[in-house]
Structure 1
Amino acid sequence: MGAGAKHKLVFVDRLLATLVHLRHGATHDVLACWFGVDRSTITRAIGEVRPLRSERGCTIAPGVRLRSLAEVVNYLGASGQTGIIDGTEIRVRRPAAGRKDREKFISGKNKQNAVKSMVVTDADGRLLFCSPAQPASCADITHAHQFGLVELLADGPVVEILADVGYQGLGAQAGGRVVTPSHRNKKGAPDWYEEMRERQRKAHSYRRIRVEHGIAHLKNWRALARHHGRREHMTDTIQAIAGLLSHPQTTSLSADERM
């Protein structure tokens, strides 16, 4: 502490530069001109503030934050709320030619270079958690396994988690606590069964759509619309923006409850 060059920007200015960079995608050169400093000063400021923001987690009540998937599962179980999970992809720059891991960032869904994060919201679409970024070639269900969702649900409180078809099979592994749409029926099924399955699918989609709203709020931030920086910073970027979004959502909810 105290070593190295002294800061040319006070903390408030460093925080403001980071927020503008995340929200509007302003480049470091533009921010340097705005604050009247060198580009390297802005790069250093953002590199210091962004991890601090990501470590704060998502706010669910004044002074109460969720920082891990285990805390989210415990919160949903204690409050009796339903959780919703989904994966979202963010386009990134293609790795340089000749790198052995160049192909693992290609999404099988969009055929683009991207990273993926698992987003968890409550039934109202409030952001509760965004997982660290992984290469987009990773399947949704594999992504959930990597972060221990099955173990947390199987050994933790009784929680209902809604998910899409990308997580089919997770329910059986987690003791039925993950609800996904039914499997597509084989040929020759009676019409009444197809109609029933379609009604169930629409009802499930109606309940699960809230997580799409939460993801849409994330993508409104320019840094997540398409990321032009280093892929190594994506985890801090996603989690920092999720934490920033969760605070006004909590404030709005508290205001509605007072009314």
Structure 2
Amino acid sequence: MTRTAIVSDRRITGLSAVVIAELVAELGPLWQERHQARLVSRPRKRAVGAGAKRRMVLVDRLLATLVHLRHGVTHDVLACWFGGDRSTVTRAIGEVRPLLAERGCTISPDVRLRTLAEVVDHLGETGKTGIIDGTEIRVRRPAVGHQDRDKFISGKSKQNAVKAMVFTDGDGRLLFCSPTRSGSCADITHARESVLVRLLADGPGIEILADAGYQGLGAQTGGRVVTPPHRKFKKNAPDWYEEVHERRRKAHSSRRIRVEHGIAHLKNWRALARHLGRRERMDDTVQAIATLLSQQQTADLFPARTRAPRPHRPLRRPTSNRARARNDLVHGY
């Protein structure tokens, strides 16, 4: 009953039943292969396959992971739903989440992007405009005495957070989500350390929209990164300049707003609204949610199958005069 309820209602996982079926078919062989390799890799006193059998099958493990990522449901509650133990759910999520993170963002049924180099090549081939922006995710504060306790404090929100760089196209479709950095890292520093500058400088002539936090990348990438215009007059600016400057900033903001929509779709997953788990697993969480969101966006644009039109059945000729007149009016008889 739990499995049926989760699959049948898209609000629970954020994914349609078709996408969940594709995930099960794709991750099943990978999970089984890694499980067998893990059993064989260590010295054993009993043969492989001996001992207690797993109570949670792969489908239940995947659904528990999806519900946990979507709504931040605790492992205790998921254990009650699936009739297992909390440690079993924790182990299941730890096994499925890396598999989801390695899949990459789905652009079309046969194209996936896993690295920044693939994103730049994709934009160069399609001629589309890319948009980048950074987003912060609140995390737990490191313990007292931790060596890097202060580096997670964000200068913008004044909270402990990690930062990820989100890459979308001009329509707001998610193309890439980078590994996280500490909250004290600036957006432009994150972009420079992710080899984005080198890829744009040596790659195709594409256009990347960014906000004021990336000002300076345009000169390093040959004008490929477009940021809001600089303000030339800091004091006593002419009236005509104020109007022109504001118009140019609004024009740039109206084009760049699509990446904010993409980030909003990411933050709909509760695990990215505020992360209460270990910071070491944050990269897998961000990558997993990005792959799931992009696959659902692709499924909505490229439906796997369309419903066949219902055959036309001619209505019987009504016998009463009133029914015959109503049918003549509606159906043109």
Q: Name the residue aligned to 1:148.
A: 195
Unaligned stretches of 5+ in structure 2?
1-36, 43-50, 307-333
Tell me the CA shift for residue 2 of structure 1: 5.4
Other-structure match for 2:118? 71
Cα separation, 2, equivalents of 1:12 and 1:63: 24
1:55 matches 2:102: yes
Aligned to 2:132: 85
One-letter amino acid of the structure 1 residue matched with residue 68 of structure 2: H
Following superposition, the deviation at residue 122 of structure 1 comes to 0.3
Worse-matched range after superposition: 198-207 or 39-48? 39-48
| Aligned partners of 2:109 and 2:302 also within 8 Å | no
Query: Secondary structure of 2:136's partner?
Result: strand
- Unmatched 5+ residue regions in structure 1? none
Write the distance in 1 (CA, Å) between the matches of 2:118 and 2:169: 13
Q: How many residues align?
A: 256
| Distance apart, 1:33 and its partner CA | 1.5
The aligned counterpart of 2:180 is 133
Residue of structure 2 in register with 1:162 after alignment: 209
Report the AA paired with residue 233 of structure 1. Answer: R
Counterpart residue number, 2:54: 7
Larger Rg: 2
Aligned to 1:220: 268
| Structure 1 Cα separation of the partners of residues 215 and 299 of structure 2 | 35
The equivalences for 1:198-209 within 5 A come to: 198-209=246-257
CA deviation string 1:102-158 (max 9, x = no partner): 000000000000000000000000000000011010000000011111000001111
Partners of 2:166 and 2:178 within 8 A in 1? yes
Letter of the 1:126 partner, please give it.
Answer: R
Cα offsets for 1:43-80 (capped at 9, x unmatched): 11101100110110110000211001110010001100
What percentage of aligned pairs have identical amino acids? 76
Name the counterpart of 1:176.
Answer: 223
Contact 2:209–2:225 (CA under 8 A) maintained in structure 1: yes
TM-score (norm 2): 0.75
1:95 is the counterpart of 2:142:
yes
Within 5 Å, give how 1:113-132 maps onto structure 2: 113-132=160-179
Q: 1:253 deviation in Å?
A: 2.4
Q: CA deviation at 1:10?
A: 1.1
Shift of 1:252: 2.4
> Are 2:245 and 1:194 aligned?
no
Does 1:28 pair with 2:75? yes
Q: Aligned with 2:84: secondary structure?
A: coil
TM-score by length of 1: 0.96
Q: Distance in 2 between matches of 1:100 and 1:31?
A: 35
**What CA RMSD, in Å, does the superposition of the two structures yield over aligned residues?**
1.4
Structure with the larger RCO, 1 or 2 (CA within 8 Å, 6+ apart): 1
SS in 2 for 1:196: helix
- Deviation at residue 235 of structure 1 after TM alignment: 0.8
**Which residue pairs with 2:89 in the alignment?**
42
CA distance in 2, matches of 1:78, 1:57: 19
Q: Distance in 1 between matches of 2:151 and 2:226?
A: 29
Deviates more, 1:70-79 or 1:189-198: 189-198
Give deviations 1:145-178, integer Å, cap 9, x for gaps: 1111100000111110000000000110111000
Matched, 1:211 2:275: no
Change (3 A) 1:106 1:2: closer
- The amino acid of 1:24's aligned partner reads H
